[in-house]
Copies of this chain bind each other. A is one copy, B any other.
Amino acid sequence: MSAARTGWQAIHQEVLRRIHDRVWRPGEMIPNEAELAREFGCARATVNRALRALAESGTLERRRRAGTRVALHPVLRATLAIPITRLEIEETGARYGYRLLESGLAPAPGGLGCSGPDKALHVRALHLADERPYLLEDRWISMAAVPDVLTADLASESANEWLVRNAPFTDGESILSAAVAGEAEAALLEAVPGAALFVIERTTRDGAAVITTVRLVHAPGYSMRMAVG
């Protein structure tokens, strides 16, 4: 198990047990750090280490002066690892394939960049698993933010992978949704028109500047697994 007989993990575990067993109920205050340190016979810093971990995971709510309480709405946080598409496919044991469909400069669409009509690189590509369509990628890359992308050979390496290695970013967001396959998409993904497709639209930024916006359309049958807890 993840048990620990000593140290901050033991305290972490014991606090979790008390919450689980309703010794400390949601919304209730728990003793302060000094008190718990006395109870567990350790330094306050050790208690702090355990309670901080529980606060970071959303189990506890801590505020100076106000003290520590059990979170009222156990805000579940699901964590999702977003790998490079090639690795995602190879991890399933399938052979990875990649086909560049289209690549060219074009005026950037609305969302990309902030200062007027920037130039952008528009790339469409298909990722394959065991020679079968797996993911359709439709991407805009800001030339202002990543001019070097012109030197990349996007026929042999996906924009996804090149960007991960060469375009540092600070933050971004993803929007997940479901969409019906149109005729064009269906043909590329070897699906029937009308099939349900899992779509991810992701934007990544470096500070305020948008680096890239991408629409990822998965072949039918795709599902995304997330751990909870």
On A, residues with C-beta under 8 Å from B are: 19-22, 26, 73-84, 87, 164-165, 168-180, 194-199, 202, 204, 218, 220, 222-229
Instruction: Pick the contact of A176: B81, B223, B229 (CB < 8 A).
Output: B223
- In the bound complex, CA of A78 to CA of B177 (Å): 15
User: CB distance B202 to A178 under 8 Å?
Assistant: no
The reply to whether B175 and A225 form a contact with Cβ atoms under 8 Å apart is yes
| Of the residues B165, B172, B228, contact of A228 by C-beta under 8 Å | B172
Residues of B contacting A22 in the complex (Cβ-Cβ under 8 angstroms): 168
Q: Complex formed: what's the CA distance from A199 to B177 in Å?
A: 9
Q: Are A202 and B176 in contact (CB under 8 A)?
A: no
Q: Which of chain B's residues have a CB closer than 8 A to the CB of A19?
A: 168
Contact call A228/B82, Cβ cutoff below 8 A? yes
Query: Are A196 and B175 CB-contacts (below 8 A) given A79-B77, A79-B79?
Result: no
Pairwise interchain contact A176-B173, C-beta atoms closer than 8 A: no
* A222 CA / B223 CA spacing, docked (Å): 16
A74: B residues at CB distance < 8 A = 164
Instruction: Quote the shortest CB–CB distance from A60 to chain B (angstroms).
Output: 15
Q: How far does the alpha carbon of A75 sit from the alpha carbon of B80 in the complex, in Å?
A: 9
* With A228-B202, A229-B170 as contacts: A84 and B80 at CB distance below 8 Å: no
**Contact residues in B for A223 (Cβ distance below 8 Å):** 175-177
Contact of A84 among B73, B87, B173 (CB under 8 A): B73
Q: How far is the CB of A38 from chain B (nearest CB, A)?
A: 23
